[in-house]
Amino acid sequence: MDLFDQELAEVLTDEGLRYVLRRNPVRVQEVRDTRHAKLATLQAHVAKQNHYLTDHPRANAQGAWQKLVARAKTLRIAAWVALTLAERSITLTINEEAQTEAAKLDGCYVLKTDLTPAQAKKELVHDRYKDLASVAHAFRTCKTAHLEVRPLFVRREARTRAHAFVVMLAYQIIQYLSACWSTLDLTVEEGLHALTTLCLVEVSPTNAPSSHCLPTPRDTIARLLHSADITLPKAFSLSGVRVSTKKKLQSERRLQ
């Protein structure tokens, strides 16, 4: 257990395996707070049941006790919490020693690898493990959030691959915007929603061809564009190309 008190520790085995050990202090506090919250929840249920048993003399005290025992198991604190029934009164007792034992591994985790120290130092193994959180976030963003890669309404392999490829390219844009807007205290979704207020104004002077221009963006939009190093042109020349959004495609399929 003393190894977890270090920032990063490793253990080598005779089989060539390495175990990298660490205790995350932030996670320690989170687990401790969760444990206290679960205990408070159970205590509130005990008080409620005792009040009910007092007001209803014919209520089933044994059944109330069984419900609380099941609740303790559901909350996963039954190992250090005892519930006793005596004269229609339920008492909750905390086993301090068992609670301390249960808290020993709070925030502790172990990484297992067969890479030798020459191939990857313990810091590198740990950093690559932490990078998995970014991978999970990427898949979650692609499946839901802004991109919604699923469900796929294509059938041919080439089209499915092309669809996934376009989504991954779009994710690169989201990553770029996330880095650019990190100091603005907003999410990419909030920033993109704000940018939807941009609109084109058609100017049709007499005896001259019409043109489209952008009004001066308000301060919020200007900060978003400046942070992303985007400069909008003052005038637009529309090419007549029709862009089909996801909502438009659904209505088109119904018409076909």
180 closest CA partner among 193, 171, 191, 196: 191
Tokens of 14: 């005779």
pLDDT (tens, 9 = 90+) of the chain, 256 residues, equals 666 766 788 888 888 899 998 888 888 899 999 999 999 999 999 999 999 999 999 999 999 999 999 999 999 999 999 999 998 899 999 999 999 998 888 988 899 999 988 999 989 998 888 888 888 777 777 776 666 666 666 678 888 888 788 888 888 888 888 889 988 888 888 888 888 888 888 878 788 777 778 888 888 888 999 999 988 887 777 666 666 666 666 666 565 5
**Buried-state track 72-102, b at ≥16 Cβ within 10 A, e below 16:** beebebeebbebebeebebebeeeeeeeeeb
- Contact partners, residue 68, CB within 8 Å, separation at least 6: 42, 45, 46, 49, 83, 90
223 closest CA partner among 202, 194, 189, 254: 194
* Count of CB atoms situated within 10 Å of the CB of 172: 9
Give the Å distances, CA to CA, from 57 to 45, 50, 52, 87: 18, 11, 9, 11
